[in-house]
Structure 1
Amino acid sequence: MLFRCICFACFLLPAMVAAQSKTFFHKDTLKIAATSVGVRFNHMKAPLMLSGKKYEIIDLGSDGAPGKTVTVYLENDSIQIRNDNFPYEEKHFFPLQLAGKNYKLRLRFNNVTASFPYAYIRENRGRALVEVPETFELANILLMLSPSAKKMGGMVDSGQYHDEVMAYFKPYLGHPVFKALDVREAEYSNNYYEFRDNSICYEFNGDQLMPTQYFLVYGSDDSTYSNAFRSNVGLVADFARQSNFRAFYQSHLPYYRQLIAQQAEWSDVAGMQRWLGKQFSHRGFDTSRLIFSPIINSRHSTQQFGGSDENGRSFYEMVLFVNGPNLYNMAPDLNEQQCRGVLAGIIFTEVDHNYVNPRTDSFKGEIDSIFASRDFWAPVSKTSFYSKPAYIFNEYMTHALFSLYAIDTFDASTAKFLIARREALNVEGRGFAKFREFNAALMKIKKENPDTPVADLYPKIIDWCRSFAVR
């Protein structure tokens, strides 16, 4: 059999240079007397036979990977294409003739937001990691010191560590990185998450910031992976050099390790996943990374990534960005169980987004209709970051779900305290005006249907929302 390989000289460094998806149109028609064509990405054991039917375009795609290939099998020939635009999207179009009928063959290497080395998967499958990564702490320190954060809040503003940060970095507040971080109020939330969360896409190699296995965590344009951290990575590295940030980080490792140990003890992410798995019939994640900083006060987020090992076995990782336990160590009005519960609420309401959001998508039309009454559910003056009706519903659902988890996990007195605190947080603090009513309704529906998973209660929950909204 003849063999041809098509390669392109696109030498790109992931997450280091500006790039975007690439599309290639091949002129030569692939002619096959049969009614189907065999196509195999190199992770597949055998070619997939694609038939021409009523559609003009015959399509097959797979997530991109370093060195990945796709082979098209002709009658006495084959063509192989290598993924040279990794990690960005790459598409190839070929004129295709099957049994005399003309089609277009589209082959896709999909863009990916992370690429896990096999060694990483082997080492971390089944683990629950808790970390204060060096670049993540650098990003948080820069945000805390920035002019915008002083106006917008969301960062710890007192305590010994806060004071040490302020004193150490005060001589460097004139660095140009702070001008880059001084954005308008309307842009602050997106800029904050882009800058903070994407910091894990880099790690130090000496004084240089080099790409990691993550290409994009949070951003509005995943075709180029552009984000606020990547756009300013040169300034960030220069600030770290001038301020000798790495020495500051190293000198505080004992403090970070103390908090990591406490966070790991108080954070039962594995238990949360088991509880959520029963409620949503979800397989869960192979690895969780709980990333925090002692100067985060609010603004938590989560992301998930996927990959596969050398045997083709899938690998799913959940990353959580939250505050540290130090916030609650300074709360004299809370006992230890309440401290654990409050921290659990922060973490749980990020973990459960990974279960709630996909289920919500199955009822998107109904939810969009009901929650389009924005002023009724969540006045935009307080909740503008949640721009779509489904986003509003997901916030209601994820936070109300914690009430069910608290009832099943903590003693009755602690659960009652946590539920009341969660309701006050959402109504008075976050602007979700009807959360108390929604929360009570969910607890009632679940109590009436104790053996029914929450995922199967969605129709009842949505019916309640519809009735409540027209009272």
Structure 2
Amino acid sequence: METSNTSVLTVEINPNLELFAVIYILAFNGSDPFIMAPPSYIKDALTYFAPYKDSEAVKDVRETFNSSLPFYTRDEAIMALSTRLAKLNYLGNITNDTALGLDLRLFAEFARESNFEAFYRAHLKDYERSISNLSKILSRAPRWYWHLFGRDYTRFRVEASYSLRIHPHSVGENGTVYYIGFIPRDMDPSKAHELALVILHEFAHPFVEDFLKENFQLFRNMSYYLNEIRSELPFTTSYDVDHYGTFYNYLDELFTESVAEYIGLKCGIPEDYVTLYRLTMSVPLFPLSKFFEEYSHMEKSGMKVSEYAPIFARHMAEWATPENVSALYWEVTPVTWVHETNSILFNGKVVIVYGTSGSEKALAEFLEKTLKRGYLQGYGQAPSIVLKEVDELTPDDMKTNLILIGTPETNELVERLNDRLPVKFLFNGSWTLGRSNDSVGKFFAFKITNESVISLPLNAPVPSQWGLIETIKNPWNSDTYITVIAGTDESLMGEVIRKGRVESYTIIGRNYLEVGFYIERGGER
């Protein structure tokens, strides 16, 4: 394969970003949603830097990132400062800091006075453990960007924090493309694969942006794809202007994500994991699966992305027209809780229907509080959340968004729907679960462990103790959804509420996690 053979890839816990993280830990006494460090690391930082907890740098961070500010405001401010820090030499070594802004001069002073470098070196083994798996996965990436785009950066740099949640982003300048973000501790293979795909996505942005500057005109009349995703996910898209504000931005994300997943496979990320990741991302990025498939055609043609652009654009116009784009959406996009939560907010109401077991009513009350808190934190508003028994439902209730709690034994409505459920309830002395594609076009199931993601056949066994959450379209109103929550005991039902809901369904057992996606209409698998 042709390659420039000149790019250098480096992965590091950036000392400036970790300096920022330590000052942030001091500013909020180790307790804040953006602090990701393990408790032992936080304790070390608070102890080592205790004499400097009232320094001007700490006061400045506490004021700038005040906890009373909205989450997204703090997130954007952390991202902006991290971009400046990641591109600089270590601040503690800069003696003539007059060129730095006041905030960074305070950081440099803190680094020198506290001997931050000694703390950083004392934790090098922790940092190295967190990045070792990533370095191996990403080592092949630069040649594949060259292969796709016919251009290169001299350096690919992963600059990360170990202990501060920095929103992943990228910058390309002066022959260097930077990934700037965070690398969590305990990077087992599954987490390493996920983060590698995020990094590959960010690395792809500068390449895709240059590509679109030259070729966007070929795609400009296909904004109906964006209109469709706005229609299906009205609240997700309206709150994320950066990705959904213009068709240009949306097309940028589609190309960037599909390139990242294609290169991820070339870097040795297992196909089952990439498939799981693509299905997850297919919900907010339509039609991601069609974009991904196009790179195989392009590779066979021997063309670069820029050469293949007219063919790509022609194919995209052929996939769907403004009149039938909605049909394509449901041919390639799995049904998930993300759809229901958007529909709940759009319609302003959800009815939680609990079964006859006393624990199911208690779970419904817990879910009501959880949903209300989540909606208020995420969107600043909460819909009407109504709790009812089955015999209290009205015909209008049946057409709204529903959450059903219980098995066919305890919830009559679950019993009525059981034949329509892709994950069905089966009784053989006790309630268990079975997967079926009778009511859907395509079905994907995955078992997830710390070490791997494994695609499951539909007849794979389900643990005898389980918690389930699954979402389908409402058969009484195609514009709303129904989510079913059940389990063999209350603790597993509570756990599945806390961990599930991104996929079409989640099954949790003792030391068992399964997620899956189903696409309700046909199409080639």
Q: When the two structures are superposed, what TM-score results if normalisation uses the length of structure 2?
A: 0.49
Distance 1:304 1:398 in 2: 14
- The number of aligned residues is 303
Identify the residue that residue 170 of structure 2 maps to in structure 1.
302
**Contact map agreement 1:154 1:297 (CA 8 A) in 2:** yes
Question: C-alpha distance in 1, partners of 2:210/2:299?
Answer: 22
User: Residue 210 of structure 2: which of 349, 358, 364 is its match?
Assistant: 358
Counterparts in 2 of 1:239 and 1:398: CA distance versus 1, 3 Å:
same
Matches within 5 A, 1:56-455: 126-143=7-24, 153-156=33-36, 158=38, 160-169=40-49, 172-174=52-54, 175-177=58-60, 178-182=62-66, 184-185=69-70, 186-199=72-85, 200-201=87-88, 203-205=90-92, 208=95, 210=97, 230-240=101-111, 243-268=114-139, 271-280=140-149, 282-297=150-165, 299-306=167-174, 316-324=175-183, 326-329=185-188, 336=189, 338-361=190-213, 362-363=215-216, 366=220, 369-370=223-224, 373=227, 375-376=230-231, 379-380=236-237, 382-386=239-243, 387-410=245-268, 414-424=270-280, 426=281, 433-435=283-285, 437-447=286-296, 450-452=299-301, 453=303, 454-455=305-306
Tell me which amino acid in the other structure corresponds to 1:328: M
Mapped partners of 1:179, 1:286: distance in 2: 38
CA contact (8 A) 2:92 2:108 kept: no
- State the distance in 2 between where 1:159 and 1:395 align: 36
How far the C-alpha of 1:349 sits from its partner, in A, is 0.8
Q: Is the 8 A contact 1:349 1:398 kept in 2?
A: yes
Question: Is the Cα contact below 8 Å between 1:136 and 1:197 reproduced in 2?
Answer: no
CA gap 1:126/1:157 in 2 versus in 1, 3 angstroms: closer
SS at match of 2:171: strand
Label 1:130 to 1:144 Cα distance change in 2 as closer, same or farther (>3 A): same
Report the Cα distance in structure 2 between the residues aligned to 1:377 and 1:169, rounded to whole angstroms.
50
The one-letter code of the counterpart of 2:152 is G
Q: CA deviation at 1:195?
A: 0.9
Query: Using a 3 Å threshold, how does the CA distance of structure 1 residues 383 and 289 change in structure 2: closer, same or farther?
Result: same
Give the Å deviation of 1:250: 3.1
Is the Cα contact below 8 Å between 1:131 and 1:292 reproduced in 2? yes
How far apart, CA to CA, are the structure 1 residues paired with 2:93 and 2:226?
51
For residues 126 and 274 of structure 1, do their structure 2 counterparts lie closer, same or farther at Cα, with a shift above 3 Å needed? closer
What SS does the aligned partner of 2:275 have? helix
Cα distance change of structure 1 residues 370 and 135 upon mapping to structure 2, 3 Å threshold: same
Structure 2 counterpart of 1:225 = none
* Overall identity of the aligned pairs, in %: 16
State the distance in 2 between where 1:154 and 1:469 align: 39
Residues 133-191 of structure 1 show CA distances to partners (whole Å, capped at 9, x for unaligned) of: 3222112333455559966x454253543443355446655531211232732532331
Question: How far apart in 1 are the matches of 2:81 and 2:232?
Answer: 30
Q: Which position in structure 2 is the counterpart of 1:81?
A: none
Q: Distance in 1 between matches of 2:43 and 2:172?
A: 34
Q: What's the offset of the Cα at 1:366?
A: 0.7
Question: Does the residue aligned with 2:170 lie in a helix, a strand or coil?
Answer: strand
Shift in alpha-carbon separation, 1:371–1:439, aligned structure 2, 3 A: closer
CA distance in 2, matches of 1:189, 1:240: 24
1:202–1:211 Cα contact (<8 Å) kept: no
As a proportion of its length, which structure holds more helix? 2
Counterpart CA distance in 2 for 1:295 and 1:327 is 12
DSSP-derived class of the 2:287 partner: helix
User: Helix, strand or coil: the match of 2:300?
Assistant: coil
Give the conservation status (yes or no) of the 8 Å contact 1:141–1:165: yes
Distance 2:133 2:267 in 1: 19
Task: Name the aligned partner's letter for residue 410 of structure 1.
Answer: G
Query: How far apart, CA to CA, are the structure 2 residues paired with 1:255 and 1:346?
Result: 21
Distance 1:190 1:289 in 2: 21
Deviation of 1:363 (Å): 0.8
Q: Distance in 2 between matches of 1:410 and 1:207?
A: 40
Partner SS for 2:159 = strand
Q: 1:434 to 1:303 in 2, by over 3 A?
A: closer
Q: Distance in 1 between matches of 2:92 and 2:29?
A: 29
Secondary structure of the equivalent of 2:153?
coil
Q: Report SS of the residue matched to 1:299.
A: coil
Residue 230 of structure 1 deviates from its aligned partner by 3.2
Q: For structure 2, list consecutive stretches of 5 or more residues without a partner in the other structure.
A: 328-525
- The verdict on how the C-alpha distance between 1:372 and 1:176 changes in structure 2, with shifts beyond 3 A counting, is same
Q: Secondary structure at the match of 1:353?
A: helix
Aligned mates of 2:173, 2:242 — CA distance in 1:
23
* 3-state SS in 2 of match to 1:363: helix
Question: Are 1:459 and 2:313 an aligned pair?
Answer: yes
